[in-house]
Structures are given as C-alpha cells and as structure tokens.
Amino acid sequence: MKRVLALVFLLLLLLTGCAGTPQSRESGATAVVSVLGVEPAGQGIHLLAAAEGRGEEEPFRCDSQGETPAAAVEGLTNRGEQVVSCAHVEHLLLTQNAAGTLPELLSYAFQEPQQSTETQLWVVRADTLEEAFSGEADTAKRMSVIKSQGKNRQGFCPVTLREAAAALARKEPLLLPALEVGEQGLAFAGFALYQEGGITQWLTGPEALGAALLLGDRVHWTGSVEAQAMVLQSTGCRVVPQMEEGRLTGLSIRCRLEGVLTGGWESRPGDVAKLEEETARAMYQAVAVLQRAEADATDLLGRAGLSNPFRWQALSSQWPTAFSTLPVEVSVTITVTERQ
C-alpha cells in the first residue's frame, strides 16, 4: 500500500511540473478559459466556461455536453473558427450534485498534460450553475475577486486538484470551499464536506469559522464585541488525546489565535474572554459536525499522534471507532492587536 501511495504522489509531482502557470487571457480569436463549471446532464456532464471581458468586450461564455469529461472538453474547444483553450483554468466549480463526478474529473485532469493540477476546486451550493454563468455577471472576474480576497489564505483554504487527488488516494475526507450566488454574484459560503463520493455536510456560519481556524486559515470575521471586524489567524492548535489504561477516552484541543483589528476599538475588561469563548464554541461546533459525519477532515488524528507519538499504535487503531463519540474540550487563547 505504501508503494502505491508513493507512486501516486510521484505521479502528482511529475504532472504538476508539466502544468503551466494558471492565468486568464483572451487574445484575438482565441478565448483562454479561466473558470470551468460542471453540472450533471443525463448520463454525462454539462460544462460551462468563462473568461473575463477585457476593455469594452463582453465576458466570454460557452458551454458543452459530453458523456465523459474528455468528450465535453472536446466539444468546448472544437468550435469552428473560434479557438477555445482550457489549458489555463484557474477555478473548477462543481454543483452539489456533480460532486460525485470528482474522481472522473481528476482522472481526466491527470491524463491530459495541458490541464493544470493547481486549478482550485470549489463546490457551488446549487443544483445548477445557470445563475452563476448567466446575465450580465462576469463570472471569471468575480472569481478573480474571490481569489484576491482569499490570497494568503484569508477566509478559506484553497484546495487544488492535486491536493484533492492525494486525499482521494488516501481515502480521506475533504473540506472543500463552498460558494453560493448572492446579490453580488458568487460569494464564499463556508465548506462542503466531501466523503464517500459526494457532499454529506455543509459547514456555514460559526461552523465554517471553526473549521477554517482548525485548518489554520486567516479569517476575516465580525465578532459580537462591538460588532468589530478583525482578522483571526491560528498560530497553532495542540490536540492532546486523553488515555486511560491504554483506552482513548477524550480529546483536548488547545489553540492560540492572533486577532488583528481592522478598525478603531478600545479593549475593555472581558472583551478578549468573550472572543475566546466565541471562537472556542465555533471550533467545537465544527468538530461536532465532523464527528457526526465520522469524518476527520481536519486531521485531528495526525496532530493527536504528534503530541503523544509513543501511543500512536493504540491511538490510530482506536480512532476509526472512537472518533465519532469522543468527548472533546476546546480552549482558545487570543492575543488581540490593533492594525498598525
């Protein structure tokens, strides 16, 4: 099994090296697609493609259907006089009911040298992408805005096709960034839990905040204290397993966060304590969702093993059956500073 995983990772590395740097551009009669959407269509898939409008040009859109990803892409790129390139796709958007096609899409991406394995993967909380790819909205430009908001991992943790393939090879669950269509078009909407070939849970609101902090993301967040917005950054979570006579009986999660205020705010006694309570509660709620789904999508097992490596064998052997019912304690310490 280890040799198989090693070969998979080597393949991923080689294919990543073949991929060009993702970019979005439109030149002459050639449209270079930066966003691809996937939704089910009978026994096949429906592809929707978008590229940014430049200057006074309208945003580019086209679509195609096929029984396989290869057939759908062929229909997309073979459009007579107009040349459409899918070699520099930055974002792949799946509807919630298209997530089951992820293994097939990944297989195609790794067999086609021109497809970048660094493409970011998203799940749209809808059964169709019609609203996201229609009207006057520039889908590609909107995704560029979301990407810039999320640079340096501010708000979500991007998942690339390469990372998704590695997780599927290890049969691990995935927390995929989720989108929904709002007044300003597509917007970040939390996380979708992908496991066993489909989306099984959605993490939104406090649950999404907790999941992002467990993943180590930087999060723009408005807390209850003076409704003051801040940037929260996890500087480390220590996961300590509680063992009694060799039996796993509980889990303690101790996290340190840094909060940088985005506006004027005068700290009052008890404010930081309230923030610590809110974030600890959010992280606890995120863990509870993952426990109900029996999906350790934030690698609590790996971190628990790091804190107690001498009991790794006992810990890892009990984890699959114990994780979903383990009592969990979460404590948070926050250091708050004002933006300079």
Task: Please indicate, yes or no, whether residues 248 and 169 belong to a single structural domain of this protein.
Answer: no
Task: Please indicate, yes or no, whether residues 184 and 208 belong to a single structural domain of this protein.
Answer: no
What does the pLDDT read at residue 46? 94
Residue 1 lies in a domain: no
Helix (H, G, I), strand (E, B) or coil at 318: helix
Task: Please indicate, yes or no, whether residues 190 and 231 belong to a single structural domain of this protein.
Answer: no
Query: Which whole number is the average pLDDT over 44-52?
Result: 91
Residue 306 lies in a domain: yes
What does the pLDDT read at residue 156? 63
What does the pLDDT read at residue 218? 63
pLDDT at 162 over 70: yes
Task: Please indicate, yes or no, whether residues 183 and 225 belong to a single structural domain of this protein.
Answer: no
Query: Which whole number is the average pLDDT over 11-15?
Result: 36
Query: Which whole number is the average pLDDT over 185-211?
Result: 91
Question: What percent of the chain clears pLDDT 70, i.e. is strictly above it?
Answer: 79
Output the domain CATH number for residue 238. Answer: 3.30.300.210
Q: Is 226 left (phi over 0), alpha (psi -120 to 50) or beta?
A: left
- End of a domain among 151, 176, 203? 203
Task: Please indicate, yes or no, whether residues 42 and 184 belong to a single structural domain of this protein.
Answer: yes
| Count of C-beta atoms within a 10 Å radius of residue 90 | 20
Task: Please indicate, yes or no, whether residues 157 and 193 belong to a single structural domain of this protein.
Answer: yes
- For 12, the token pair is 């991923």
Nearest in space to 284 (alpha carbons), one of 211, 177, 202, 203: 211
What does the pLDDT read at residue 109? 85
pLDDT at 27 over 90: no
Task: Please indicate, yes or no, whether residues 134 and 97 belong to a single structural domain of this protein.
Answer: yes
pLDDT at 148 over 80: no
In b/e form, how buried is each residue of 269-295, taking b as 16+ CB within 10 angstroms?
eebbeebbebbbebbbbbbebbbebeb
Task: Please indicate, yes or no, whether residues 164 and 58 belong to a single structural domain of this protein.
Answer: yes
Total domains present in the chain: 2
**Model confidence pLDDT, tens digit, residues 280-314:** 999 999 999 999 999 999 999 999 999 989 999 99
Residue 160 lies in a domain: yes
- End of a domain among 182, 203, 224? 203
**Can you say whether the dihedral through the CA atoms of 163, 165, 168, 170 is positive or negative?**
negative
pLDDT at 261 over 80: no
**Model confidence pLDDT, tens digit, residues 104-115:** 999 988 887 777
**Model confidence pLDDT, tens digit, residues 206-255:** 999 899 888 876 666 655 555 556 777 788 889 999 999 999 999 999 99
pLDDT at 268 over 70: no
- Considering the chain, what is the average pLDDT of its residues? 81
* 267 phi/psi in degrees, rounded to 5: -65, 135
Residue 294 lies in a domain: yes
| Maximum average pLDDT range among 8-17, 132-141, 152-161 | 132-141
Edge to edge, the sheet with strand 30-32 lists 25-27, 30-32, 82-85, 78-79
Residue 11 lies in a domain: no
Question: Which comes out higher in pLDDT, residue 17 or 78?
Answer: 78
* 229 phi/psi in degrees, rounded to 5: -80, 145
Enter the pTM of the model. 0.82
Q: Give the structural domain span for 95.
A: 21-203
pLDDT at 6 over 80: no
Contact between 141 and 149 (Cβ < 8 Å): no
Task: Please indicate, yes or no, whether residues 127 and 214 belong to a single structural domain of this protein.
Answer: no
Task: Please indicate, yes or no, whether residues 252 and 154 belong to a single structural domain of this protein.
Answer: no
Q: Rounded to an integer, what distance in angstroms lies between the CA atom of residue 261 and that of residue 258?
A: 10
